[in-house]
Amino acid sequence: MNQIGIHALVWAGGWSEDDARTAISSTKAAGYDFIEVPLLEPSSVDTAMTRALLDEHDLNAGCSLGLSFHTDISSSDPEVVRRGERLLTDAVSVTRDIGATYLGGVIHSAMGKYLEPASERGLRNCVASLRRVSGAARSAGVTLGLEAVNRYESNVVNTAAQALALIDDTGADNIVVHLDTYHMNIEEGDLAGPVLECGERLGYVHVGECNRGYLGSGSIDFSKLFRALIYTGYEGPIAFESFSSAVISEAFCSSLGVWRNLWEDGEHLARHAHAFIEEQLTAAGRSAWARGSPP
């Protein structure tokens, strides 16, 4: 059984105690198994408070973040790389301290638009940093996930194939591929191929619509994704992700290009998404793929 989760930014734009309580209690009430906590500033997260709330509501958690150009481990500037590596190491500690075992996202480069390809030096820096951070993560019992994002949010990992190659370069056994349908819809040929390509190395899945709104309201063929997940025997977490300027901060709206409100009612959106994912899993489980027919 896949655990179904939701990104905390559906509920609240920050992580104060009030924000955390709202996000965690709402996630539990909507029927989810876990919440994805964004570590935009790991040092600002009250780990004891967060863990207490998670325990109170009997809810699991995962963590995610996106590096900035100030903390880009794929930079050719050694000081920028050092800052990024420190940030990732701190995020690993926060992940461990709240009782979570997964830290993913755009942890391989800055989450933003580059104006040129990644340099060879920058790629070497990225590999070396991820290798060291994976060592700290292993000691903390944390798995790292490399999220493949679109060309406007990274120049290092845009596809599943690139994520797999980067993981191979690190030689780390606790780094997995993190796929996201919003980005796959832009960069991949279809939604099934990357899942089949990753196989057992797929460790985390973000489900989001092409416009980041209600699932099923856009052009993404989710049935292909879920049939591929069933066919490969994927048992990992599936997290719903959606952003609206009705909730997230102005700064985050700018970094993600969220220029309009795609929804106002986070609770209705969340309950709809949970039902949608369950329906897709059930339908995929009844398909020919589930019976072993080739895709």
Which are the catalytic amino acids? 147, 241
Q: Of 2, 88, 98, 101, whose CA–CA distance to 51 is shortest? A: 98
Q: CA of 237: how far to CAs of 3, 11, 112, 158, in Å?
A: 5, 19, 26, 21
Q: What is the dihedral sign for C-alpha 255, 123, 142, 210?
A: positive
**Tokens representing residue 151 in the block:** 């060309």
- 3-class secondary-structure state, position 133: helix
Distance CA(22)–CA(285), nearest Å, equals: 33
Side chain identity at residue 143, one-letter code = T
Angle in degrees, CA 241, 175, 66, rounded to 5: 40
Helix-then-strand count for the chain, H and E: 10, 8
